[in-house]
Amino acid sequence: MTRRVTVLGATGSIGDSTMDLIGRADEGVFQIVALTANTNAQKLADLAIQFNAEFVALADPDHADDLRARLSGTSVEIGIGPEALVEAASLPCDFTMAAIIGAAGLEPTLAAVDQGNHVGLANKECLVCAGDLFMNRVAKAGATLLPVDSEHNAIFQVLEKDAPKGVKRLILTASGGPFREASPGKLQTVTRKDALAHPTWDMGAKISIDSATLMNKGLELIEAAYLFDRSSEGIDVIVHPQSIIHSMVEYVDGSVLSQMGSPDMRTPIAYALGWPDRMAAPVARLDFAKITGLTFFEPDTERFPALRLAREALESGGQGPCVLNAANEIAVEAFLKETIKFMDIPKVVEAVINEFSAASGFSVSPTTLDDVLTLDKAARQAAIGRLKAL
Residues that bind ligand NDP (CB under 6 A): 9-15, 37-40, 59, 85, 99-101, 104, 122-125, 149, 201, 203-207, 265
Helix (H) or strand (E) holding 98: strand 95-98
- The separation between the first and the last C-alpha atoms of the chain, rounded to the nearest angstrom, is 56
Nearer to ligand NDP, 6 or 13 (CB): 13
Nearer to ligand NDP, 333 or 355 (CB): 333
Considering the complex, what minimum distance in angstroms separates the CB of residue 217 from ligand NDP?
A: 11
For residue 359, the one-letter residue type is A
Q: Which residue, among 317, 329, 389, 387, has the nearest Cα to 356 in the 3D structure?
A: 317
**Could you tell me which residues are beta bridge partners of residue 171?**
236, 248
Q: DSSP per residue over 57-68, as a string?
A: EES-GGGHHHHH
Residue nearest ligand NDP, Cβ-based: 12
Residues 222/129, Cβ–Cβ less than 8 Å = no
Considering the complex, what minimum distance in angstroms separates the CB of residue 98 from ligand NDP?
A: 8
Query: CB neighbours of 382 closer than 8 A, spacing ≥ 6?
Result: 327, 352, 355, 356
DSSP 285: P
By the 10 Å C-beta count (0-12 exposed, 13-18 middle, 19+ buried), 169 is classed as: middle
Considering the complex, what minimum distance in angstroms separates the CB of residue 177 from ligand NDP?
A: 13
Considering the complex, what minimum distance in angstroms separates the CB of residue 358 from ligand NDP?
A: 29
Nearer to ligand NDP, 100 or 351 (CB): 100
Considering the complex, what minimum distance in angstroms separates the CB of residue 340 from ligand NDP?
A: 19
Considering the complex, what minimum distance in angstroms separates the CB of residue 208 from ligand NDP?
A: 8
Residues 71/53, Cβ–Cβ less than 8 Å = no
For residue 90, the one-letter residue type is S
Nearer to ligand NDP, 316 or 328 (CB): 328
DSSP 383: H
Nearer to ligand NDP, 39 or 74 (CB): 39
Considering the complex, what minimum distance in angstroms separates the CB of residue 315 from ligand NDP?
A: 22
With b for 16 or more beta-carbon neighbours within 10 A and e for fewer, the 178-209 pattern comes to bbbebeeeebeebebeebbebebbebbbbbbb
Nearer to ligand NDP, 207 or 214 (CB): 207
Nearer to ligand NDP, 48 or 351 (CB): 48
Nearer to ligand NDP, 87 or 355 (CB): 87
Considering the complex, what minimum distance in angstroms separates the CB of residue 316 from ligand NDP?
A: 22
Q: Which residue, among 369, 335, 366, has the nearest Cα to 349 in the 3D structure?
A: 335
